A = this chain, B = another copy of it.
């Protein structure tokens, strides 16, 4: 059937026709729960049994801050294929795909509405004791088994071809790696930080490092990335982590995915300036966030290296010193990409609620300035980073200096 956006009722009819999901005569309710900017998301439930599914349909355009531009429906294929690929390696950490319809750009998948978006959870000050272990495993397994280390050479190349994703990559290329560092019309920042932003636009060493990271994003086909792994693409409960929405999936540098997680934890860290007024509680929660950053990297690396030792398919994998040199570059990439992702969330088109939900403009500006400082340091000092505490030390030291300056100002 040719593409058309479904109504709530049509979504029900569609799901009823699929084998293996609901009984023929089932009574189903349907609610469109998406934000309507990119996709329709139908929550379809059989009240009698409690069984439910999600129907996600891509819209042929994107709407961001009032603007609307056409956007490929092929992203629905990318998303469903990425979910299925990831499901092979970490079935408990992604929604199960029940059905994909190429014509309608529509995926029927597991309902995860007992989870909440992690960004929301962090803004509320919740803690997720299993998150680092789970996201570390997600990263290690999905990235290792799709890389040249863990996949057969033919399989890897077939995956590269499947996940060529020009339109969504272009969004990242522009919005993460280019627009925020010049006076681009897409930028959207707090007028109170204009001075700091303009300093970034003039910072030549910084712009050079970001341009190098952009070239890495463009060329380094290391593994199948999620491609947009911020805390709004992660569903959590206290026990469970589910990674959703991989429509930006493509073959890129591994550090980009890890960096996205790190960046969004740090964005919340910066946001604590306005989110939490009690200084003691703020410090405590910030320490929780930094410990989580360390744990995410440490979990990732210990599992990734274990896979490398036990399951590498690449014949050269066991050459002495290779994994160490590989992992060493990964953490530096992670810091660099995290830095870009922090800067773009403050300066560029799409902000984050961790900062944007701070009502007072001055307070928000303070939090944003802190984020900008941390982002820049991560980029400029990445070549000296060897361990996860080198990353969190940068965050701590920048914060200390920042607080001292504020106190003496």
User: Which residues of A, 120-171, contact B by the 8 Å Cβ criterion?
Assistant: 148, 153-154, 156-158, 160-161, 164-167, 169-170
Contact of A322 among B157, B211, B319 (CB under 8 A): B211
Q: CB of A316 within 8 A of chain B?
A: yes
A203-227 near B? 1/0 per residue, CB < 8 Å: 0100110111011001111100000
**Which B residues lie within 8 Å of A212 (CB)?**
322, 325
CA distance A326 to B216 in the complex (A): 11
Residues A148 and B222 in contact, CB atoms below 8 Å apart: no
From B148, B167, B169, B219, contact of A215 by CB (8 A): B148
CB 8 Å contact bits of A18-58 with B (1 = contact, 0 = none): 00000000000000000000000000000000000000000
* Number of copies of this kind of chain in the complex: 2
Proximity bits, A304-336, B CB within 8 Å = 1, else 0 = 000000000011100111100110000000000
A204 touches B322 (CB 8 A): no
With A170-B154, A178-B315, A220-B220 as contacts: A208 and B148 at CB distance below 8 Å: no
From B154, B211, B314, A316 is in contact (CB under 8 Å) with B211
A366: Cβ under 8 A from any B Cβ: no
Contacts A161-B164, A316-B178; is A208 near B170 (CB within 8 Å)? no
In the complex, chain B residues whose CB is within 8 Å of the CB of A256:
none
Instruction: Find chain B residues with CB under 8 A from A167 CB.
Output: 154
Contact of A189 with B by CB under 8 A:
no
Shortest Cβ distance from A72 into chain B, in angstroms?
10
Partner of A157, one of B148, B169, B220: B169
In the complex, how many angstroms separate the beta carbon of A249 from the nearest chain B beta carbon?
A: 14
In the complex, A177 has a CB within 8 A of chain B: yes
A135–chain B nearest beta-carbon distance, Å: 23
- Asked if A173 is at the interface (CB within 8 A of a chain B CB), the reply is yes
> How many angstroms between the C-alpha atoms of A169 and B221 in the bound complex?
15
Tell me, rounded to whole Å, the shortest Cβ–Cβ distance linking A336 to chain B: 14
- Chain B contacts of A221 at CB under 8 A? 219-221
In the complex, the chain B residue whose C-beta lies closest to that of A164 is: B161
Flag if A173 contacts B153 (CB, 8 Å).
yes
Cα-based distance from A30 to B346 in the complex (angstroms): 69
Q: How far is the CB of A35 from chain B (nearest CB, A)?
A: 27
Whether A316 lies near B169 (C-beta < 8 A) is no
Does B321 lie within 8 Å of A148, measured CB to CB?
Answer: no
Contacts A178-B315, A315-B178 given: A164-B170 contact, CB under 8 Å?
no
Task: Give CA–CA (A166, B152) in the complex, Å.
Answer: 10
A161 to B250: give the CA distance in the assembly, Å: 12
Measured in the bound complex, the distance between the Cα atoms of B153 and A167 in whole Å is 9
Nearest-neighbor residue (CB-CB) of A167 within chain B: B154
Q: How far is the CA of A221 from the CA of B167 in the complex (A)?
A: 18
The answer to whether A207 touches B157 (Cβ under 8 A) is: no
Contacts of A321 in B (CB 8 A): 204, 208
Residue of B nearest to A217 (CB): B148
Whether B164 and A218, one on each chain, are in contact in the complex, defined by CB atoms closer than 8 angstroms, is no
Collect the chain B residues with CB atoms within 8 Å of residue A160's CB. 160, 164
Pairs of residues from A and B, 3 with the lowest C-beta to C-beta distance, nearest first: A157-B166, A211-B319, A211-B316
Residues of chain A touching chain B, judged by Cβ–Cβ distance below 8 Å, are 148, 153-154, 156-158, 160-161, 164-167, 169-170, 173-174, 177-178, 204, 207-208, 210-212, 214-215, 218-222, 314-316, 319-322, 325-326
Q: Known pairs A208-B319, A211-B316, A211-B319. 5 more at Cβ < 8 A?
A: A204-B320, A207-B316, A210-B316, A214-B316, A220-B220
13 contacts between A and B (CB under 8 A): A148-B215, A148-B218, A153-B173, A153-B218, A157-B164, A207-B319, A208-B319, A208-B325, A210-B319, A211-B316, A211-B322, A212-B325, A215-B326
